[in-house]
Amino acid sequence: MLTLLIRVTLCFTLMQTMKTHNFSAGPCILPGQVFEEASKALIDFDNLGLSVIEISHRSKNFVAVMDEAVALVKELLQVPDTHEVVFLQGGASLQFAMVAFNFLSETGTAEYLDTGAWAFKAHKEAAGLGSATIIASSKHKNYNFIPKGYAISSDADYFHCTSNNTIYGTQMKSFPETNVPVICDMSSDIFSRSVDVSKFDLIYAGAQKNLGPAGATLVIVRKDALGKSGRYIPTMLKYQIHIDKGSMFNTPPVFSVYVSMLTLRWLKENGGVEAIEARNAAKATLLYNEIDRNPLFVGTAEVEDRSTMNACFLLKDEAHKTAFEALVKAAKINGINGHRDVGGYRASMYNALGLDSVQALVDCMQELEKTHA
């Protein structure tokens, strides 16, 4: 066991000395110390002589992990007592249906803001169950902006939005004031900035951006918003069931929850959400300033709606593509290829990405300018 732990430590040290700048859109970069702690727990968790992935999820050791993860979510996001926190499975995509089952009545209508592929898919899932309307969309401009000035019906069952759009590099900077329940998919920017949780009836997020490895889904839900749809809900899709069972109605994604807990610890140790928000703003400013300054590049999203998490940009002349990508490869920069719907490049700057990684990318852009402008 000791020999294995030594090998893990040596491997981790080697990884640190051969740093790759990871701009992957997701699954994405996580803090180095989280990888180190998680790798040790894979071999020996809590000095049990057992791996974290082979112990019972109902053991006191793992129950303590779940309890701490939930407590950290509440602390870091200042979740009010009116809301519950649960860890589920199925990613944000399962939430598209789960939200509709729990909030859309058989005679009511849900209203959706369409800001990208995931928002559109969320609407499609609800529309398959009942009445769901898109009240505003930026699809006609390839989702390069966030619609504004739309009206939400006062009798809608709920309003659904997606706070950040990884594919197109746009982000909601504010949320509408309304008397109907507000539900938000925050998969790609949760824990990256301060939000007033009390303004939302439900927030959901897949773990694989700022929280942990793929597998877990975080849900924050207002207690008194549940039990009103009046429709049959499959047991596995009932939020109240998972609340009542403490996220243990069925076997949870043990490793994903454990790593999420470690990431939340790291976030707390590094100043919490407000501190990381400032660092994220600095990273985004550095990159967007270079995109706007450099004559060889152009951003794709409207400036006022640019995401601090995902910056999308293009080469003005594709003739420079080979040269730029050679510079990027030499700098050990990974994961900046743009999504096929947008093309070009996408730099995802999640919480664990350092400013030095963004500077490495900016250096490549400036080097290209020196040799090809």
- Residue 220: closest CA among 69, 349, 29, 104: 69
The single residue of 114, 118, 157, 201 carrying the catalytic annotation is 118
Tell me, yes or no, if 118 is annotated catalytic.
yes
Phi, psi torsion values for 57, nearest 5 degrees: -70, -10
Amino acid letter, 329: K
209 flagged as catalytic: yes
> Which of the following is catalytic: 185, 189, 201, 305?
185
**At 189, which helix (H) or strand (E)?**
none
Indicate the burial class of 232 (C-beta count within 10 angstroms; 0-12, 13-18, 19 or more).
exposed
Cβ-defined contacts of 176-181 (< 8 Å, 24+): 176/150, 176/152, 178/152, 178/154, 179/154, 180/111, 180/152, 180/153, 180/154, 180/155, 180/156, 181/103, 181/157, 181/222, 181/225
**How many residues are present in the chain?**
373
The secondary structure of residue 258, as a DSSP letter, is H
For residue 111, give every residue at least 6 positions away whose Cβ sits within 8 Å of its Cβ, in sequence order, or none: 132, 133, 134, 135, 152, 153, 156, 158, 159, 160, 180
- Set 114, 157, 201, 209: catalytic member: 209
Show the DSSP H helices in the chain as ranges.
2-17, 32-43, 60-77, 91-103, 117-127, 239-244, 254-269, 272-293, 321-330, 355-372
Gap between the Cα atoms of 90 and 230, Å rounded: 24
Q: Assess whether 329 carries a catalytic annotation.
A: no
Amino acid identity, position 84? E
Q: Convert 161-173 to b/e letters by CB count within 10 Å (16 or more is b).
A: bbbbbbbbbbbbe
- Token representation of residue 154: 């006062």
Question: What residues are annotated to the active site?
Answer: 118, 185, 209
